[in-house]
Structure 1
Amino acid sequence: MKKILLILLIAFGSSAPVFSQEPPLSPSNNPANSKLLKPETSEMNWFMIKDSVKVQIGKLQTQIEKKKNQIFIITTVEMKQSSTKWIDSTIVETQNFKPIYHSSYNQQRDMVLKFGKKITGYYLDKQTKNKTLISEEVHKSFFDSNFYPQLIRLLPLEDNYSTTISIFDYNPTAKIDVITATIRNTKEVTIDFNGQKKSVWKVETTDDISNNSTLNTYYIEVSTRKVLKQEIDFGGRKILMELTE
């Protein structure tokens, strides 16, 4: 899903904030509560905010299937100006969310990653027809970048909670390596959602995918840990996704 969002985002370089020197979260250093992640199908409307007016540009559906040893997450995006669906699939281990598989298909490119002793797969740029075969070793523990938005709602959230998360995100123009996502701030607030007052964790995050220039804000319901909405601020522009109920 992060790859899909980046198609619409324009990166503006900035310096990353400085946080504690504690090791970043990873499958080998994982305080998340896996019991909070339940099988579900959810749908969010996707808006661009223009002059304080919401203009719907698409919608996305997320399916989560939880088995004994593996969790399957499939995200399907439909854009109003495109007849082609964008589909991302992620498989992780149930116990510690160690990545197993990630595929992403859209109009711009196809990508498949298989995680093991090596990261193998391919990246196909549909504009240039250039296909890059992937076979790399990474000697660090990490989460798949497509999974970490799900990981956030499973963490031991509290006021002023902040941490870094070790993630892997494939970029065909950069050296393959593990990068970092950062939870900058967490605060319990009350929002109006579909005419009801909801107590939520407001969690602000950035990541190295956008050089920490894009601010993602998640509004996670305290009682259910559902993401009720997500705001993405980049270069003076804003994208909003809201859960449909």
Structure 2
Amino acid sequence: MLCTLSNAQMRLSPDNNEVDASLIKDEVYEMRWSVKSGDTSNDIGKVITKIKNNGDKVLITSEVKRYNSAKRWVDTTIVTKADLKPIYHASYNENRDMVINYGAKTEGFYKDKTKREKITLNGEYPTSFDSSMYPQVIRWLPLNDNYTADLLVFNFNPSGKTDVLNAYVKEVSSTSYNNKDVWDVVVTDDIVGGNVKTHYYISKEDRSVLRMEVNMGAQSMIMERI
């Protein structure tokens, strides 16, 4: 009981984290992206993620390929390997461009291509994980049944929240998915609201994310590893 209470109070950041850096391997994987409403499921596209160790840094790139569009959506994140402290993040798509440079000050810009507006970022924030990669952080934590934790994440979104927010590992339990032993990790965050739950089905064998399911009331967004 004392162990469970201690975990529940844990707030993780690059300065205070439990990430096992030995689990960070070079890899390339694809996730099928679909939306489910009732008994109807529609495939939207796929997401290709590449993770590359580069000395004391880790480079993570994700490319979204939508079936109904030829336009690219590419995210790039660079972090230190030892503690996943963010160094750089960039995201480019048809609607907006965004760049963040982390350091003593967090600087960058957000260019809204629809409104033709450019908003700059320049401020001091507590050390935190970049919001684009906290799902990766989760898979490298010391997961076990009943594990819980709070993660500090930085989110840059001029139309929403720009600040250090919380993501919550609410529950971890053992189950199976496609005949593989996995952890079902239930996560919420303050970015989209605490009533939106995401289930990460993470392989116990190699920590690969086999499935993500975002429950949004009447609809669910699903990512399945190909």
Shorter-chain TM-score above 0.5: yes
Q: Does 1:101 align with 2:88?
A: yes
> What CA RMSD, in Å, does the superposition of the two structures yield over aligned residues?
1.5
Tell which deviates more after alignment, 165-174 or 87-96. Answer: 165-174
Q: Does 1:71 align with 2:58?
A: yes
Which residue number in structure 1 is paired with residue 135 of structure 2?
Answer: 149
Identity %: 38
For this pair of structures, how many residues does the alignment match? 221
Which residue number in structure 2 is paired with residue 206 of structure 1?
Answer: 188
Give unpaired runs (5+ residues) of structure 2: 1-5
- Richer in strand (by share): 2
Choose which of 42, 48, 52 in structure 2 pairs with 1:61: 48
Q: Mapping of 1:1-245 within 5 angstroms? A: 22-138=9-125, 140-173=126-159, 176-191=162-177, 193=178, 197-244=179-226
Say whether the 8 Å CA contact 1:34–1:94 is kept in structure 2: yes
Partners of 2:197 and 2:142 in 1: how far apart?
21
Judged with a 3 Å threshold, the aligned counterparts in structure 2 of structure 1 residues 204 and 85 are, in CA distance, closer, same or farther, namely: same
Partners of 1:35 and 1:52 in 2: how far apart?
41
Partners of 2:225 and 2:197 in 1: how far apart?
19
Say whether the 8 Å CA contact 2:37–2:218 is kept in structure 1: no
Partners of 1:175 and 1:238 in 2: how far apart?
23
Say whether the 8 Å CA contact 1:136–1:176 is kept in structure 2: no
The one-letter code matched in structure 2 to 1:104 is S
> Secondary structure of 1:149's match?
helix
TM-score of the two chains, using structure 2 as the length reference: 0.93
Partners of 1:119 and 1:79 in 2: how far apart?
31
Partners of 1:110 and 1:212 in 2: how far apart?
27
The one-letter code matched in structure 1 to 2:135 is P
**Alpha-carbon offset, residue 235 of structure 1:** 2.7
Partners of 1:220 and 1:23 in 2: how far apart?
21
